[in-house]
Structures are given as C-alpha cells and as structure tokens.
Amino acid sequence: MKLLFLNGPNLNMLGIREPDIYGRRTYGDLENYIRSFCGELGIECEIFQSNHEGALVDAIQSAYGRMDGIVMNPAAYTHTSVALLDALKTVGLPAVEVHISDVSKREDFRQVSYVRLACCKTFAGYGFEGYRMAAEFLFVERKRNQKEL
C-alpha cells in the first residue's frame, strides 16, 4: 500500500506555532513519526508539506495512478479551498482528513470543511496519532475491499 501524506500551511512551523494548541513537537518529528508507523505497517509513504494551495493541488493530482490513498491535513485551507476539494474528487482516491487539534472546539469559522466532502473519514484532536489512525483506517478499508472482490 502506498499513501500520500499532505500537510498544508503553517504545519512546517509545528513546535513554534501556538504550542498550547499544537504541542512542542516539530514538523520533522511528525515526518519521523509517519515514516516509523508506516514502516511498522508495511506502508510506503510519501510526505509533502506546502504553504501554497496550488502546490497541494499538484501533489494531489500527482497521486493519481501512483498512490492508494491520501491522508491530508489541509490546515487553514480546510475552511477555504474548493480547489483542494475538486482535486480530491478528481483523482478519486480514498482520502482521510486529519487535524492535530480538535477543530470542533475552536473558532466558528473552523467548523466548515470543504475537503471533508471528498473524504471518507476525519480524525481531529488526536495530535500526531490522528495520522496513524488515518493510515490504519485506509489500510483496513483496502484489505476489506480486496476481500470483497
């Protein structure tokens, strides 16, 4: 199984940005965490972060025909980007939305998620563990779907 892990704007500033909300671990720590659990699960992973919406759209499009699923933390683009929604719908890969913080307990504007419309599951408020939960969900779903065939 091959998964693309996408991270949106300001996630490169983990450990610095609002540590009371996002914790003190860095983006490098997140990358190491993802690589570690993917290795344990036998999942090939590609990790990409950008502060630019178009670069994230390009990454989603590049997953078509190469990846089995997408784990995405769109960050602030969650609440604004129809382009990310359209890209996810276009490639048709199973996608899971992840947020480090529990967005349901934050500002009103964070209650809107455009990308969620193209995702089969959302994990929010679990910190880094949400990425593992998303990968395990996609892994189990893929195995289940293979058995049905």
Q: Residue 97's beta-bridge partner residues?
A: 72, 122
Whether 52 is catalytic? no
Domain ranges in the chain? 2-148
- The pLDDT score that the predictor gives to residue 107 is 63
Instruction: Tell me the mean pLDDT in the region 110-132.
Output: 92
- The pLDDT score that the predictor gives to residue 6 is 98
Whether the CB-CB separation of 45 and 112 falls below 8 Å is answered with no
**77 DSSP 8-state letter:** G
Q: Which residue in 7, 15, 52 sits closest to 34, CA to CA?
A: 7
Candidate list 22, 27, 114, 131, residue with the active-site label:
22
pTM value surpassing 0.85: yes
Dist. CA 132–CA 139, nearest whole Å: 10
Instruction: Tell me the mean pLDDT in the region 22-45.
Output: 96
pLDDT-derived band at 21 (thresholds 50, 70, 90) equals confident
Candidate list 27, 64, 79, 99, residue with the active-site label:
99
pLDDT, mean over the chain: 93
Instruction: Tell me the mean pLDDT in the region 33-49.
Output: 97
Dist. CA 14–CA 28, nearest whole Å: 9
Decide if pLDDT at 111 tops 70: no
Decide if pLDDT at 109 tops 70: no
Of all residues in the chain, the percent with pLDDT exceeding 70 is 95
> At 4, which helix (H) or strand (E)?
strand 2-7
Whether 64 is catalytic? no
> 2-148 falls under which CATH superfamily?
Dehydroquinase, class II (3.40.50.9100)
